[in-house]
Every structure is written in C-alpha cells, then in structure tokens.
Structure 1
Amino acid sequence: MAKKLHLSEIIRKIKKIRFPEFDMIVAIARDGIMPASLLKDELKLPMHIIWLNYRDENRQPVREQPALTRPLGRELKGQKNKRILLVDRISKTGKTISRAKHILDGNMIRTFVINGKADYSLYSFEECIEIEG
C-alpha cells in the first residue's frame, strides 16, 4: 500500500535541503513538472521543460529507450556550462534521467526526485508514495 503524502509534506522536506547554486531547473515532463515547480518557487530559478519519456499513460514501456516527445526548447538547445537541477517525480530504472543528462551534456547536472535514486531524493524507491493535493 502506498504511503499518502500531502503536498505540504513535500514542500517541508524540500525546504530542509541545502542546495548549491544552480542556474536553472529542468523538469522532465510530465511527472517532473510538479516537483520542479515547487523547487522553482523555493530556489527562485527559471524552469524549463524537457519532454522525454518511454512509458504510456498506464506507465507501461512503449519504447526501448526514453525519447523526446517534443523538440528541445530554444532555452535548452546549445546550453553549455550551466548548473542544472534536473527534476523528475520518480526514478525507478534511471533510464529517463540518464537520457536527459545525455541530451543536456556539457552542463553541470544534479538530479532531484521525490521518490527513487538521485543526487537529491526525498524518499527511497522502496517507500511507495502517493501525493495528495
């Protein structure tokens, strides 16, 4: 059974993290947009979105590897030497985050997830969570 968390608990945990300086936040769409928005508000940074996935609406893989589902935005194209906080909601296999890091190669990237394995993670993947509004 999933542990239910209110959004305020996520915000409280984010506020406790001492982040280094970043130039921008990049959300992996769709699931990374909500946590990236919370981080954007907390860290007062610009946020951009990378539309990347390999699963369908039911979370079943539909591609062998994560792929861009929309072209990379002009804010991210050609960026080099930026300090980026790359954000997703969950990192189970690490494939999507790994692919995003490859696409954003040439930048200094740290990763954040609510649940799973990343440089900054609020919960381990063994702790199954569900977020309430």
Structure 2
Amino acid sequence: MDTKVPVSFVKISKALSRFPFPPTDIVVGIGRGGIVPASLVAHQLNLPLFIASINYRDDSNQPNRESPEFLALFPATFPEGSRILLVDDVAVSGMTLELLKKTLMDYPVKTFVLKGKADHVLFPDIKTCVHWPWHAAAKPLIYES
C-alpha cells in the first residue's frame, strides 16, 4: 500500500513565496534530492546556486553507506562572510547536512529542508513520506491551486 502523499509544485511554490528565509548570500543544494528544491529556493531568492554531490541513502530512502560521503569534489571556497543556506528535500537523521556544515565551517550556515529536521522546514506538519513532483514515482497532478 502506497502511503506517500503527493505535494504539487503549486503548493511548494506558494509555500516558498511566503517563507521567511534567513538572510542568505549563497544557496547550496545537496544532490540528488536537494537539487530541485535548491533550484527553486535560489530562484525565489535570486541567488547563486551550487550543488554538493553527497550520498547516504538509496532510492527507497535506506542508508546505503555507513555515513554520508561526497561523490565529487565540492568547491568550498566562497567570498568571506558569505551566508550560506544548505537545501535538501528531506532530512531524516541530519547527517548529510552536518557533513556539509563541517565542510563549510568557516561560513555562517543555516539549513533548509522541505520536510524533516533542519534550522528551517517548509512543511513541518508533514510527517508521512512524500511524492515530490520531480520524482519519477510521483503521481502526476493535473492542477492544484
């Protein structure tokens, strides 16, 4: 039985447009799951976007490593004092966000997720698994206002 709830782009877009983001200079998305949310946030805030390729969980959301690992070199050099917002779709344990925060320890960093544990959460009331509209397994929605 599929217990994932669909969340549409319209719902996400409306929530992002109302969200009180912290002062931010650079958005860093965690690839794979955070690429689309980080792109939406960077667009909303009109800020530069960087992607950190890190992996910890597989497509069924189960850990596939002992701990999160960088899959590619991440350029962790930004202008001094840049306020960075780390973005992912979901944070369960927070370990992936913490790995990136340690890498960026010379900068003021805040975390933002659509669902889960972070400094800022777009949908704090959603406790079930979610079908994000950009996932292949998501059920297409014709229109939702």
Tell me how far apart the structure 2 counterparts of residues 111 and 117 of structure 1 sit (CA, whole Å): 9
**Letter aligned with residue 113 of structure 2:** V
> Where does structure 2 lack aligned partners over 5 or more consecutive residues?
135-145
Q: Which moved more, 1:122-131 or 1:20-29?
A: 122-131
Answer with 1 or 2: which has the greater Rg: 2
- The CA deviation string for residues 90-124 of structure 1, in whole angstroms up to 9 with x for no partner, is 00011111111111111111111111011211223
Tell me how far apart the structure 2 counterparts of residues 93 and 21 of structure 1 sit (CA, whole Å): 25
**Letter aligned with residue 32 of structure 1:** G
Q: What TM-score does the superposition give when structure 1 sets the normalisation length?
A: 0.89
Q: Indicate the SS of the match to 2:100.
A: helix
Q: CA RMSD in A?
A: 1.7
> Where does structure 1 lack aligned partners over 5 or more consecutive residues?
none
**Letter aligned with residue 129 of structure 1:** V
Match of 2:68 in 1: 66
Match of 1:128 in 2: 129
Tell me how far apart the structure 1 counterparts of residues 5 and 13 of structure 2 sit (CA, whole Å): 16
Identity percentage over the alignment?
34
Query: Measured at CA, do residues 131 and 85 of structure 1 come closer, stay the same or move farther in structure 2, by a change above 3 Å?
Result: same
Match of 1:119 in 2: 119
Picking from 55, 58, 61, the partner of 2:57 is 55
Q: What TM-score does the superposition give when structure 2 sets the normalisation length?
A: 0.82
Query: Measured at CA, do residues 47 and 78 of structure 1 come closer, stay the same or move farther in structure 2, by a change above 3 Å?
Result: closer
Which structure carries more strand by proportion? 1
- The CA deviation string for residues 23-56 of structure 1, in whole angstroms up to 9 with x for no partner, is 1000011110100111111100000011111223
